Chain A
């Protein structure tokens, strides 16, 4: 049920008079339709509605003068399914592959990061600074005017002093102004492709019109090192990604004897704890349960290292560091698993920020290939896809995968009473060659203990 409110028709408008309705109760309206005319201090203007549906009720009579923002009509859900407005976006938002499985809001990175001008580097290596000799005030002035950082110039004058010519040369090298990543030209297909195969667009050379990066440029820049990456050139990129996933999963199912364990975890304490912590924080600083679950998984993996590592040449090689793979499904289909390195040392807030960051960049196509390699354990969260339990398939050569189902209120027995408690089923899929159910249980119990007492998730909580 939507509302039509008195619109603001100018920054100085505080109220307006309804002149007449262009619709009656029961009429169908579509986003963008004229719904009424409104008189302001300046003129009478036809105003549009931003909802689609049936006019359920007109709340204001013609002639009435009301403040901007006052509800004037109620718009009910359309009875006919087909009444989509002319500029309806045609999105199919509910198809399962469109949102990442992790419980991530659209990311809210705090600021649009700007990149600095590339420095004018003359001489030996990328960032070598020189104790530059600036003898002449004229040269200094010139450098200032041309915005040349003289500490990065190796002078060719007497005693290595920087000459006018050096400065001019350096300025010419920076003459092309900063091209931050976002101002690069990238076709949507190239962007999508880069996200799929994890190519950092800032290193891709564009061959398209006006230097635009095209899909083929991204493919050319991809280093097909591991087998989830592209190999064949045939088929659409989605097909190729599907084929890569197929190979990996085939191998997993063929080589890895899985066992699965699951545990229903009471998340009421976590919920309270997060609500407390998030109070007073700005939306982009709030932590979601997904981040706390990542934190708990990382801590549990560190304390049960038998599950953290790789199966290599017939035996398990475990790792001290927890490099947490996080499965992100792409809108165009397929999956990528960016890795949060050294997750055992990252706080809930840090993991939250890292999660938003990688999800956003995975979708935008700005993951670096180094961020896709080296996971020691993976978490797959399908909670927001509405499933209760995820029995994951291990990504070889890793030893285990953690599955997170939806967080919902469920009946649980607490202190001898049945209560509705927020809970989720957390599962572990593990390689039976490396460990037995006993080890796996220890891992899940550890996760459970951490989530039941979330203060343990904080760095000094232990």
Chain B
């Protein structure tokens, strides 16, 4: 049995959530959603090539966690990384140009959808290897600790990564060395076509994380308010120096694993049930009912986001393809220091 979306009784909105913050959280989720909806179209028309893994349905996770990170905090994500990159401050232009494989992209067009890197925004990439981001996050956090910075590294990964050795190793070392990592396990129930209970004996991942000796919480990942609350608590702890923390964020992807899969592993009804808990719509219903935002706000947000997406697509289309002579550049180190790499 996979998890069913229970109709949760949501707590009242927290008092400190005013209209401005509500709009901020709402707009961020809408930005991610509309960006990806456009990506689907552009993939179908073969403007975007390679792989494309959509985050649609899971937006509350990146939005809620990122709301608690400062610009100097770092983020590591997976191949399903558009939402994390955008919410952390990579511009839509830089992200879209990357999708298009243009030099103007955040990874110079060399990474594509799965590898959105941006040092200025401290986004250390998507990663095509399941679990591959975990040791990277551990390393970033170790560097921060040794240099006594009070930054946090948020590491996002799917529940599928829990089966990897790298997960075990990083969790252990992070707890052992008190590394400032926020582990964010996005449990969307399926690793490609494999439901969690088909591969794992113990499926309560927060409990498993606690076994490594770190604070761990299970969180409703469809509710941006809950994610925000949990992230606030965890980030505060980590910044206070008490070592890593773990959030298991229960969520669901509404679309196929990558751009298209036949989705034989789940029923359409199940997907529809989860769509009732759409993070954007359910948040909207609550903030509208509370009188924080109204339809005019929504129209405005949507219009601004639509413009931003249009602009990003136009920017990406107008971008430059890497000249052939450059193809082997930056593949191997040429021995010069990282500082000399022309950006």
Contact = CB atoms under 8 A, between A and B. Distances in A.
Decide whether A and B assemble into one complex: yes
Interface of A: 5, 7-11, 43-45, 47-48, 50, 68-69, 87, 89-93, 98, 105-112, 114-115, 144, 147, 171-172, 175-180, 182-185, 187-190, 208-212, 214-215, 282-284, 331-332, 363
Contacts of A68: 46
B162 interface: no
Closest CB pairs A-B (n = 7): A7-B44, A183-B89, A91-B303, A179-B71, A183-B121, A8-B46, A187-B24
A176 B147 CA distance: 11
A371 B91 CA distance: 24
Given A147-B339, A188-B27, A331-B304, A283 B318 contact: yes
Which one of B24, B71, B337 has the highest number of Cβ atoms from chain A below 10 Å of its Cβ? B71
B322 to A, nearest CB: 14
A178 B20 CA distance: 26
B260 A106 contact: no
Interface stretch (B212-220, B305-313, B325-333): B305-313
A188 B88 contact: no
A172 B45 contact: no
A175 B69 CA distance: 16
Given A8-B45, A90-B299, A115-B120, A185 B306 contact: no
A91 B306 contact: yes
Contacts of B300: 331-332
A44 B49 CA distance: 20
B68 interface: yes
B110 interface: no
A109 B68 CA distance: 31
User: Which of B45, B106, B337: most chain A CB closer than 10 A?
Assistant: B45
B302 A90 contact: yes
Nearest to A12: B49
A283 B313 CA distance: 13
B51 A11 contact: yes
Contact of A112 (B50, B94, B337): B94
B304 A188 contact: yes
A282 B102 CA distance: 14
23 contacts: A9-B44, A48-B40, A50-B44, A87-B33, A87-B37, A89-B34, A90-B302, A93-B306, A98-B303, A112-B104, A114-B120, A171-B147, A175-B147, A175-B149, A179-B71, A183-B88, A185-B70, A188-B301, A189-B24, A283-B317, A331-B304, A332-B300, A363-B307
A162 B259 CA distance: 55
Interface of B: 20-21, 23-24, 27, 33-34, 37, 40-41, 43-46, 49-51, 67-72, 88-89, 91, 93-94, 97, 104, 106, 118-122, 147-149, 151, 232, 259-262, 298-307, 310-311, 314-315, 317-318, 337, 339, 343
Contacts of A47: 44, 260
A416 B151 CA distance: 76
Question: Which one of A45, A177, A363 has the greatest number of beta carbons of chain B within 10 Å?
Answer: A177
Contact of A89 (B40, B70, B306): B306
Contact of A107 (B104, B298, B311): B311
B343 A114 contact: yes
B71 A184 contact: yes
A152 to B, nearest CB: 14
A92 B299 contact: yes
A182 B21 CA distance: 18
A164 B173 CA distance: 30
B20 A106 contact: no
Nearest to A9: B260
B302 A11 contact: no
